[in-house]
Structure 1
Amino acid sequence: MKNHLRNIDYPLLGAILFLCAFGLLMVYSASYPLGMLRYGDDKFFFSQQLISFGLGLLLLLTAIIFPYRKIGKLSPLLVLVSLFLLVLVLVPGIGVERNYSQRWLQLGPLMFQPSEAVKLAIVVYFAQVYASKQHRLHNFKTEVLPPLIILGLVFVLILIQPDLGTATSLALACGCILLCSNVRLKHLLGLGIVGLTGVIYLAVSESYRLKRILSFRDPFEDALGDGYQLVNSYYAIASGGITGNGLGNSFQKFGYLPEAHTDFIMAVILEELGTIGFFVVVLSYLFIMYRGVRISIKGNDPFLKLLAVGLTFMIMIQAIFNLGAITGLLPITGITLPFISYGGSSLILLMAAAGILVNLSGVVKTSAKEQETPVL
């Protein structure tokens, strides 16, 4: 155990904890006006996020020392529990509805979003299954397809909530695992075409999704309607300039920018800390991606390699979706910015995923040192 803790990737762990700490600071800055207005407490959202950070830190530390192969063996059970929770969310009277979406379960005083847990469970499950089938993946029907059916079921359950953004980000993370497996190129191309066609159809088949796509193309066409959030995001970004207006000095968070502390927290960061703050965050994500890919490349165990890829790109895809939305490069999906946005379920599960990734870094380094040790 001491060797394992000595060999974990501390720069990677530092980058993750930096983003979490920075997120706590920005959640307070972005949410204190809403906290005062709604609850009479400027620290309301910060306090909730701090509790989530504490729980997430406990899971992160546990994940660092928990044997990663046991996590793989537990993945089928985790998927079953996650599926049950996703179904439970849709039961009237049990699932909690907010903003026309039924995505939450009430656990005493805490709200829990099962779709966040299922993302981690499915990524671990995919890595475990495809790692065990490395030499049999030429057979699409019997070896490649069964996990995809489970992913399809999860995709549909998340879509019903409705949450196309989360469902799509999960599918892309699983696609990264498939891409790094021994799946045949023709099967990958076929899956890619089917998946892309399906997402495009789902995006335009519902009027509210179509409105989001049209408004993201030209938000100023309906600046007081569907384009309102993106237009105010642009105002926040434009006013920040290179150095920003100073921490705490955002104007848009005072009731103008909806979801300033959640989906659009990066717009507040750009307004208060400017382009410099933006690049610090983006470089942190890129550093995490670099270290995660490095872990995968250096690993000898197929499960470790695929799991590192899946966890790394689960985090990165979510970051890309969020940053793309606040800048108008992608449609608004309601996906939080990893480790930074307000949202207990997202923060806790992402910290657990990060803990597993750090765990894998220790396994890789320990294995490398053992191989270098001469046998007497």
Structure 2
Amino acid sequence: MTEISAHAAAMAAKVEAFVRQTIVPYERDPRRDHHGAPTDELVMEMRALAREAGVLTPHINADGSHLTQRETAAVLIKSGLSPLGPLACNTMAPDEGNMYLIGHVGSPELKERFLAPLVEGRARSAFFMTEPAEWGGAGSDPSMMKTTCRKDGNQWVINGRKTFITGAQGAMVGIVMAASDEDDTRGGACMFLVDLPDEAIRIDEVPNTIDTSMPGGHATLTIENLRVPATQMLGEPGEGFRYAQVRLSPARLSHCMRWLGGCIRAHEIAVDYACRREAFGKTLIDHEGVGFMLAENRILIQQCELMIDWCAGVLDSGSLGTVESSMAKVSVSEALMKIADNCVQVMGGTGVTERTIVEQMFREIRAFRIYDGPTEVHKWSLAKKIKREWKHAQDAKAG
């Protein structure tokens, strides 16, 4: 990994010690909601401990500035050593990405009102973009957005439906994305900051899902005549799709960071198991079939670290990094899936039980391959870029 500042390195070390010593014991805490995610009571208890330890929101400095992406990687990987670590340290999605977006686009007034409670760990947030497939709304293709916003005096009125909105239940801050036909929006989308809960936003369903690490689940909801003051528009009218990319590129990479930390821990557990468990006269790790899986894990972990570091460097250079973050998301999520699968396989029956976090990491990583765009969408997008580059090269030769 690229060298980082002494401050960031020290913070990463503090986060690792805190997660391993203080948060790992909470993994057996029974305070969970209907689909297995930690309750807000548990989250706030852990955050109080993080605040006391000086590791709450460690990727944002006291003056409000963010660590570089490479420095953020060092910290977020350590926070991910437990599924509860990102929640305790306030580095979890969607809050981490929402803090990044508000910090880069929000006015001073909006930062004071909506960003401060998030940075201080006093509130959770939700990002309202994805829409139900049966409604014909936006999913991987945001241009299909059907949620609308229209002006009414000094307010905007929003109507529509959203789905898979992580953390909506129990959130206090929302970023709502809606399409507009108003003249000053140029047919684009707008983003609004809203206080939650709001009676105009009705949660219809919070389904049980394969992952269980995010409080509030992934809700489907209806927005009916939600009135938002014009002063709560995030950024400029019609720039919502561009702001979504401002958020999504680093958010994709942050997912890679956190879940790499989780897979590092799962690998540690699998190694310990394989070095202690005996079968056919020797420890499991001495059987090639097992030892080779753990060797593969070590290789894949190194590859993930290098890919994250490379993409972080691109983002730190000032590039939007959409292509690079897509490549990192595909590469890292697929590698982590193999690591998690190897860990389960090495541990056999124990690997599919709740006795360790290995089983949970397998489920979480499977879901990560869909979060922020499934692998296939990113590959399709990259293939289109390859074709454009080829065409440009052919045109240059012809010219």
Same-fold call, TM > 0.5?
no
The structure, 1 or 2, with the larger RCO (C-alpha pairs under 8 Å, 6+ apart) is 1
TM-score by length of 2: 0.26
The structure in which a higher percent of residues are strand is 2
